Structure 1
Amino acid sequence: MRRLLRGAVADLTPLRASADYRRIWFGQSVSSIGQQMTAVAVSVQVYALTGSTFATGAVGLCSLIPLVAFGLYGGAIADTVDRRKLGLLGSAGLAAVSALLAAQALLGLRQVALLYIAVALQGAFFAVSSPARSSMIPRLLPAEQLPAANALATVSMNLGMTVGPMLGGLLIGAYGSQAAYLVDTVAFTATLYAMWRLPAMRPGGAQAVQPGRRASVLDGLRFLREQPNLRTSFLADLAAMIFGLPRSLFPALAVGFYGGHAGTVGLLVAAPAVGALTGALFSGWIARVHRHGVAVLAAVTAWGLSIAAFGLTSGHLWLGLALLAVAGCADTVSMIFRNTMMQVAAPDEMRGRLQGIFIVVVAGGPRLGDFESGTVAALTTPTISVISGGLACVAAILLLAARRPTFLRYDARHPTP
């Protein structure tokens, strides 16, 4: 029984095998909680200053634009310079922005424009540093440990998404927004220390960009176009996010489906993250799966079916929450395998640019999903939008499977991009 449980829970081997990876993981976990606290504090501040849900919603737009713009160029930079220095610079920038937010709250400046600018700077620094950090991992761990490392990264991310907002809400309620910003600023010391301890991480490989020359964003896009397996993994994620993410409908569903209120919206938002965290915690089996292409398509299909079933749960809140949690768990499985494929199959000199494109997909896909689900709901009903979106996701995956049979044959023991 003990052996069975040990094989089911998340594999901690990468944390034991590499001190550098252990420091990065811990720093990322702590800073992720802090950043989620800051996100809550910014929303609370903007709404308190304006009383406008539109102004609060515009916070997301302020971060999306630099995420997309700097995500691509951040990846190109990561394929040119020492990734350690770039990650250190980006983390220092994020810490400085959190300190700026703490200062404006302590001084009572009450300037919404300043909050928008700070959020945009956060998006830019994150987009520059994230490809560098992600590109380092395959240099710190052997290939067979990357699935476990990606599972642990998902634990870190979802821990931040669940614990961060709760702690942020408690701190803001007790001591004001400045408390959340100050904790976030201090939390970045763990990431800065982890980056400082790393050795130099210049890009390597047969086609590495020579020092003094610039890596081309277009080269990264051309590379992705010529690699059917990596391209299909990106398309699978887009299918899930564009068709099968009814996030923008949660307020309407909370009232229309369940007769609830703002607290119900919070439960709907949290349910996928809880499922994702659970899936990551019990991901020990993932290292034994070698057919990553099949696993990605199966996981995204499970996501689409869970979302479609969620659309049929009117009047049954806990069933709806359970199905959203199942969807979140399936998304975690898909993310772990997609990240592993990108890290293993892509050459080192291209990893930064592919991570930059990945950021654009991750940031842009859900926003397109908000537009798709909202538009279909306006033309029909929220119920039809949710069900049709989930089924459209499944249809897109079946089409990808039919059009890309090589993706189904992808074997992690013999990775091909």
Structure 2
Amino acid sequence: MHFVPAAMKRLLRHLSLDLSPLRDSRDYRLLFGSGVITMFGTMISMVAVPYQMKELTDSYLAVGLVSLAEFVPMVVCGLWGGAIADALDRRKIIVLSELGLLVTTAALMVNAMLPDPQVWVLYVMGALSTGIASLQRPSLEAVIQQVVKHEQQSAAAVLSSLRWNFGAIVAPALGGLMVTAWGPASAYAFDTLTFLVSMVLLSRVRSLPAAEDAAPASLRSLVEGVRYAVGRKDLMGTYLVDIAAMVFAMSTALFPFLADELKAPQALGLLYSAAAVGALIASLTGRWTARVQRHGLGVIVAAAAWGAAVALAALAPNIWLIFACLALAGAADMISGIFRMTMWNQTIPPELRGRLAGIELLSYASGPMLGNARASLMGNIGGTRFSLGAGGLLCVAAVLGLASALPKFRRYDARTDEHALAEKARREADAKAEAKTPT
């Protein structure tokens, strides 16, 4: 009679949220809080920009080109951001970048308040803000390895996912209401305010200088990071599978048009929030991911499920079934992200973490940008449903093809991988040395 309750307790424990990184690290708490606030504002602007572009141009292509305009700054600044993250104080990089993002969002607000808002401002500010965010992101990713214990990296990945999903669920829904009721300027004004609050929190994070023997930021250091990544087929698998999944199945640029086809423009925010609802459920119940050791296989299965769910959304006849399919896709994508982040933070040496974070940024940021451009072009050719369905099926095919071509990635096991074992031993040695150091 006591077996069932005990089994249920174990199940609930495995599905519960592990808060140990927030409990044990003050700097992680500050970074987490800043991330929640900033993500909330950014997601509102994410709805406002395509909405405003659609209102100004009524063009699939113009909306899709917003993502394309952001691609080059993301590539260049993402790689350089990784180099400076390994060479300079990461906290300083994060704070200065936050200031730059505040300025670009304020410029969007001013433009939206003009009697005749300019389309070119959306493209230019979108490119600038993407470049600045790409400079910042490698430092944000790299500091997690510094401020969170090795054995808590999986829990930190789940919490980071939860933070993202909090903003991605509530903010788009609110953003959809704000832009339709009060116009895009209100959304940009709110985003500007969130950056101000975020900067206060980030200013309290301790200084995180580079190692004394750190290589200066240069083309040579960038090449060193790329060479390391290319030499590890397991890492290349995380990048290539995610790029393929996003290029073929990311379709958020279609949402304004899909909402119109469904005769439910007020549901625009709901469409943007759907994937995040599924991802939030995956995050809240994600403690079980810490027990998974075959992270490569986990990424493959999750990425294929993401594509299949997007393909199913193309067949759904109403807004609620589409919402359910997109939520399932979001859950699968979040599981993939948790496994990828765990692999990165548990296997990459700290002196290379920033540069590899820059490469990671290219993988998970370039895919959605190119995917939205692909979705817009296919939508222009065959319509919204065609773009969704064909993209989802192409995603599944690409992921399975990469899984077959990358056996080392498919067979990755954290219990036996040489890089994971080496990084674990290094962290344990550092912890012992710190414990012996007199206070």
- What TM-score range do you get, normalising by the shorter chain? 0.7 to 0.9
Distance 1:408 1:383 in 2: 32
Which of residues 287, 292, 295 in structure 2 aligns to 1:292? 295
What amino acid does structure 1 have at the position aligned with 2:237? Answer: T
**Any conservation in 1 of the 2:141–2:357 contact (CA below 8 Å)?**
yes
Distance 1:414 1:15, change over 3 A: farther
**Any conservation in 2 of the 1:242–1:372 contact (CA below 8 Å)?**
yes
TM-score between both structures, scaled by the size of structure 1: 0.85
Distance 1:173 1:381 in 2: 24
Give runs of aligned pairs for residues 157-306 of structure 1, distance below 5 A.
Answer: 157-172=164-179, 177-204=184-211, 209-211=214-216, 216-247=221-252, 260-263=263-266, 267-306=270-309
**Any conservation in 2 of the 1:26–1:190 contact (CA below 8 Å)?**
no
Residue in 1 that maps onto 2:47? 40
- Residues 186-221 of structure 1 show CA distances to partners (whole Å, capped at 9, x for unaligned) of 32234323332233323449xx63357665322222
Deviates more, 1:224-233 or 1:267-276: 267-276
Which of residues 56, 66, 72 in structure 2 aligns to 1:65? 72
- 2:35 is paired with a residue whose SS is helix
Q: Provide the identity percentage.
A: 39
TM-score between both structures, scaled by the size of structure 2: 0.81
- Residues 336-382 of structure 1 show CA distances to partners (whole Å, capped at 9, x for unaligned) of 11011112211112222222222222232124334555666777787
Residue in 1 that maps onto 2:125? 118
Which of residues 77, 85, 96 in structure 1 aligns to 2:84? 77
Distance 1:297 1:357, change over 3 A: same
Cα shift at 1:260: 4.4
Gaps of 5+ in 2: 1-7, 420-439
Give runs of aligned pairs for residues 389-400 of structure 1, distance below 5 A.
Answer: 389-400=391-402
Cα shift at 1:21: 0.2
- Residues 146-191 of structure 1 show CA distances to partners (whole Å, capped at 9, x for unaligned) of 1111111112222222222333344456655444333322322343
- 1:216 is paired with a residue whose SS is helix
**Any conservation in 2 of the 1:20–1:194 contact (CA below 8 Å)?**
no
Deviates more, 1:124-133 or 1:379-388: 379-388
Distance 1:27 1:255, change over 3 A: closer
Give runs of aligned pairs for residues 89-104 of structure 1, distance below 5 A.
Answer: 89-104=96-111
- 2:203 is paired with a residue whose SS is helix
Distance 2:376 2:62 in 1: 19
Distance 1:381 1:52 in 2: 13
2:129 is equivalent to residue 127 of structure 1: no
Distance 1:4 1:165, change over 3 A: same
What amino acid does structure 2 have at the position aligned with 1:223? Answer: Y
- 2:413 is paired with a residue whose SS is coil
Residue in 2 that maps onto 1:11? 18
Cα shift at 1:320: 3.6
Residue in 2 that maps onto 1:147? 154
Distance 1:375 1:180 in 2: 27
Gaps of 5+ in 1: none
Cα shift at 1:248: 5.2
What amino acid does structure 1 have at the position aligned with 2:221? Answer: S
RMSD of aligned residue pairs (Cα, Å): 3.2
Distance 2:84 2:174 in 1: 35
Distance 2:180 2:318 in 1: 31
- 1:197 is paired with a residue whose SS is coil
Distance 2:180 2:324 in 1: 29
Aligned length: 412
- Residues 60-109 of structure 1 show CA distances to partners (whole Å, capped at 9, x for unaligned) of 33333322221121112212211111111111111222334445556767
**Any conservation in 2 of the 1:80–1:213 contact (CA below 8 Å)?**
no
Distance 1:191 1:215, change over 3 A: farther
Residue in 1 that maps onto 2:410? 408
